[in-house]
Amino acid sequence: MPMLEMFRYDFMIRALIAGAIIGVVAPMIGIFLVVRRYSLMADTLSHVSLVGVAAGVMFGFNPIVGALVTSTVAALGMERLRESRKLFGESILALFLSGGFAIAVVLLSFAHGLSVNIFTYLFGSITTVSTGDLWIIGSLGLLVIVPTVWLFKRFFLISFDEELARANGLPVTLLNLLLMILAAITVALSMRVVGILLVGALIVIPVLSATQFGQSFMKTALFSLLFSLAAVLAGLFASFLLDLPSGGAIVVICLMFFGLSLVINRNKK
């Protein structure tokens, strides 16, 4: 059976492990971005992370590390600008998204001719997840999961109402910076499987699907995790069986879940 045959390949096993980690981590961060109406943050960070990928290609270091550094620096810069209230939130996102992508395009033009398939970074590929990548993804995934679970209620409060969080004595500025750093890490660890241009969709769409059921915040978080994990694993299977880019297959399944959640919710009403 083709479904069982895929487990004979080491690259597929690595992809499934990496996908499971990403499927858990992405909605854990995405739910806070959606609550604070900052959904485009994930797309912005993913485009900025392409600068790190381009630098990695040019100078010969792991592109995931480059993506992690550039997306983290960008996340901190965007949060500082938002705190200063000198620019509106959507203006900050547009500035970093377009600026980061432009810089990446220029860097990649200098790297023209190097033996690298940039397509795999843009749209994801199950064959490119190496053992080294898996260790990095696992380590970064743990780095996101532990503080997110530990600070879950605090992250929810600052995302829902910053003034109320300050009134309760929470270090809002520090928590906001930490949340943005965790979002940057999530983008960097997801790009191998989902791809830079589609990672924002994986972070946000499962959360949007879960919100259609009108449950409590905790239940919505659990539903979004289930949607995300199912979409990643099903997308990887589809990618292997149909020879599709893994990122595209995963996001299409995310969209199918979203459409199904709309239908179910409409029928309930």
Q: Is the pLDDT of residue 1 over 60?
A: no
How far is residue 34's CA from residue 212's CA, in Å, rounded to a whole number? 13
The reply to whether the predicted model has a pTM over 0.85 is yes
pLDDT, position 29 = 93
| 54-92 per-position pLDDT tens digit | 888 788 788 888 889 999 999 898 888 887 777 776 788
Distance, C-alpha 152 to centroid of its chain: 18
Single-letter amino acid code for the residue at 154: R
Strand ranges inside the chain, DSSP E: none
Report, as an integer, the average pLDDT of 107-123: 70
CA distance 93 to 89: 6
Q: Name the band, by pLDDT with cuts 50, 70 and 90, for residue 220.
A: very high
Residue with tokens 């965790």: 182
Q: What is the pLDDT of residues 118-130, one digit of tens each?
A: 777 788 877 778 8
Local structure of 241: helix, strand or coil: helix
- Per-residue pLDDT band for 196 (boundaries 50, 70, 90) equals confident
Mean pLDDT of 233-245: 88
pLDDT of residue 23: 92
**Mean pLDDT confidence for 7-29:** 89
Over residues 1-29, mean pLDDT: 84
Triad 49, 53, 56: Cα angle to 5° = 135
pLDDT at 94: 85
Asked whether the predicted pLDDT for residue 267 surpasses 80, the reply is: no
Rounded to whole angstroms, the Cα distance separating 9 from 103 reads 37
Checking if the pLDDT of 154 tops 90, the result is yes
Any residues with CB less than 8 A from the CB of 251 and at least 6 apart, and which?
Answer: 194, 198, 201, 202, 205, 231, 235
At residue 228 the predicted structure's pLDDT band, cuts being 50, 70 and 90, is very high
Pick from 61, 30, 68: nearest CA to 46: 68
pLDDT digits (tens, 9 = 90+) for 36-58: 887 788 888 888 988 898 888 78
In this prediction, residue 188 carries a pLDDT of 87
What is the dihedral sign for C-alpha 170, 173, 174, 176?
Answer: positive
Distance CA 231, CA 233 (A): 6
- Tell me: domain 2-111+120-263, CATH 1.10.3470.10, correct? yes
Q: Specify the higher pLDDT residue, 266 or 162.
A: 162
107 has a pLDDT exceeding 90: no
| Calpha distance 197→220 (Å, rounded) | 25
Averaged over 153-173, what is the pLDDT? 89
pLDDT value at residue 30 = 92
Check whether 113 has a pLDDT greater than 90: no
